[in-house]
Amino acid sequence: MTEKVRVRFAPSPTGPLHVGGVRTALYNYLFAKHHGGDFIIRIEDTDQTRLVPGAEEYILRSLEWCGIHADYGPHIGGPDAPYRQSERKPIYKAYAEELVAKGHAYYAFDTPEQIEEMREKAKAAGNKSPQYNAITRQYMLNSLTLPAEEVQKRLESNEPYVIRMLVPRKEEIRFEDKIRGWVSVHSSQLDDKVLLKSDGMPTYHLANVVDDHLMKITHVIRGEEWLPSTPLHVLLYRGFGWEMPVFAHLPLLLSPDDSGKLSKRDGDRYGFPVFPLEWVDPITGNKSSGYKESGYLPEAFINFLAFLGWNPGTHQEVFSMQELIQHFSLERVGKSGVKFDKKKSIWYNQYYIRKKSPEELLPYVVQDLEKKGWPIPAAPYLKRVIELLSDRVEYLTDFTNLAPYFFLRPNTYEPELIEKSWKTQNIAFLIDFSRQLQGIQEWNSKNLEMLGKQLASEKGLSAGKIMPTIRLAVTGVTFGPGVFDILELLGKEETLWRIDQALQKIPVPTEKL
Ligand code: GLU
């Protein structure tokens, strides 16, 4: 490749970025960086009716969190600025007119009512999905059917018009897709799409192709849903006489049950986020959690996402961003849809959490505690909590969610655990145990365990019986690391206080004889 690789991620700010969109951005980024090229962000906001406040800012923030950094974009600037299509409006009209002049597009003056009428007539004649195309355009009000002077007059008197693509009537349009191979579509399948709207705004197709050309985009890497638009884009490149970029259409992300395209509803149903960051709908105020808030590390999310459609061809599953850049190629992106796999996302997250030191994990836990409004213990205490739990957690938020007792005193006790372990004998043991704890010389888990086990055996109880009772008293729940490790960390005073509380709060069982 002699030309510098330049790719773009071109989202429309019509809502939050979905995992599929993040994957598109990621593959573009990896491809660009692999080839030492540029990664550009371009905001495609020409359809002003569909804009959602906050969506653009959300998209940019999400990519930052993922570690997908653009070389140029609306927030950075660059040689082809502006990177927001609404700010490029004056550029497009001249290009649409150039296509008219070259005979590849035409002016159309039909009112919405006239178009509707055409549709009704065609439907009545048996055409189920009538379109403005090579057949119907012959009967409509456009610069192909009207005399030239009439067209001129209408344009001069500022009559509303659109510019439409003149799609050839009978032609096989072929292009090579880097992932799918040769794609061939007959022009009779296409309609004469509007390129320039009556308000002077371009449609997606015109703006997209013009900008890809002006920004010297070498590879268009985008989702499969854009494949049906590509034949029109091919015609546009041809019409302008421009060199085409390489096209690569990425496979769809499918729901975990294979029922179709991955949707937000699948996320709700199977309990996983579909957005990178929390999204608050500006109209309804409804919140949707993101990967960040759900306790994912960005590097785990990215590694997981990279594998939804690409594979390195080896058994290696763990890749840092740098390694992904090094190994990524479009040749190893598959054609068929990829099923979303929640378990795998957790596997990656666990892996990356375990790889981090307590020191590195500390800020995440502090942030989580702040968010919850819980007391924040000193760093050494927190690091020990992390050490004790990091083998067991799936999400960063599990440090607090699964073991709140490290931060708050229990005020409820799991009924099943009470049922199982709150027996008269065990309670008697607990009372003695707490008495003996007062005199313990060195408060560490080894000594605590020795003391507990010795006392249990004196009372003819097994260690398996007494440990859940101690756990119940100090934590209130079943889940957790070794019970004596918990006691060691909580400290003497707190342990004694909690045992005392439990003895007061949990009712003594009425045992059947
Ligand atoms: N604006 C389109 C989108 O929202 C971009 C499609 C493309 O990459 O060409 O996905």
Structure-token pair, residue 7? 């790719």
| Statement to judge: residues 271 and 192 lie in one domain | no
| Statement to judge: residues 310 and 351 lie in one domain | yes
Which regions of the chain are under pLDDT 70? Answer: 1-2, 511-513
pTM to 2 decimal places: 0.94
Ligand 1 centroid to Cα of residue 208, in Å, is: 8
| Statement to judge: residues 368 and 346 lie in one domain | no
Ligand 1 centroid to Cα of residue 298, in Å, is: 24
pLDDT on residue 510: 76
For a mutational test of ligand 1's pocket, the pick from 204, 232, 246, i.e. the residue with the most ligand atoms closer than 8 A to its C-beta, is 204
| Statement to judge: residues 140 and 179 lie in one domain | yes
Q: How many Cα atoms occupy the beta-carbon half-sphere of 282 within 13 Å?
A: 12
| Statement to judge: residues 282 and 301 lie in one domain | yes
CA atoms of 177 and 329, how far apart (whole Å): 14
Let me know if residue 325 belongs to a domain: yes
pLDDT on residue 432: 97
| Statement to judge: residues 255 and 345 lie in one domain | yes
Structure-token pair, residue 294? 């759900």
CA 357, 363, 364, 367: dihedral to nearest 10 degrees? 160
Catalytically active residues are 264
Expressed as residue numbers, the domain containing 136 is 90-196
Structure-token pair, residue 8? 């773009």
Domain end marker among 339, 355, 371:
355
Residue 204 CA: nearest ligand 1 atom is 1
pLDDT on residue 6: 98
Domain end marker among 338, 355, 372:
355
CATH of the domain at 134: 3.90.800.10
Residue 221 CA: nearest ligand 1 atom is 8
Let me know if residue 132 belongs to a domain: yes
CATH of the domain at 376: 1.10.8
Ligand 1 centroid to Cα of residue 136, in Å, is: 29
Burial class (CB in 10 A: 0-12, 13-18, 19+), 122: middle
| Statement to judge: residues 55 and 133 lie in one domain | no
Ligand 1 centroid to Cα of residue 452, in Å, is: 65
CATH of the domain at 11: 3.40.50.620
pLDDT on residue 259: 85
Let me know if residue 502 belongs to a domain: yes
Ligand 1 neighbours (beta carbon < 6 A): 10-12, 44, 204, 208, 222, 226
Q: What percentage of the chain's residues is helix, strand, coil (to nearest 5)?
A: 50, 10, 40
pLDDT on residue 508: 87
Let me know if residue 400 belongs to a domain: yes
| Statement to judge: residues 29 and 105 lie in one domain | no
| Statement to judge: residues 381 and 451 lie in one domain | no
CATH of the domain at 505: 1.10.10.350
Tell me which residue has its CA closest to atom 5 in ligand 1.
10
Residue 21 CA: nearest ligand 1 atom is 10
Burial class (CB in 10 A: 0-12, 13-18, 19+), 23: buried
What separation in angstroms does the CA of 447 have from each of 236, 285, 304, 438, 484?
79, 54, 44, 13, 9
Let me know if residue 275 belongs to a domain: yes
For a mutational test of ligand 1's pocket, the pick from 44, 46, 210, 233, i.e. the residue with the most ligand atoms closer than 8 A to its C-beta, is 44
Domain end marker among 369, 404, 439:
404
Query: How are beta strands 172-177 and 181-186 bridged, if at all?
Result: antiparallel
| Statement to judge: residues 351 and 366 lie in one domain | no
Tell me which residue has its CA closest to atom 6 in ligand 1.
10
pLDDT on residue 511: 61
Ligand 1 centroid to Cα of residue 490, in Å, is: 54
Let me know if residue 336 belongs to a domain: yes
pLDDT on residue 228: 96
| Statement to judge: residues 328 and 363 lie in one domain | no
Q: Where are the alpha helices (DSSP H) in 102-147?
A: 112-124
Let me know if residue 21 belongs to a domain: yes
Q: 234 with 245: CB under 8 angstroms?
A: no
Q: What is the count of structural domains for the chain?
A: 4
| Statement to judge: residues 425 and 487 lie in one domain | yes
Let me know if residue 19 belongs to a domain: yes
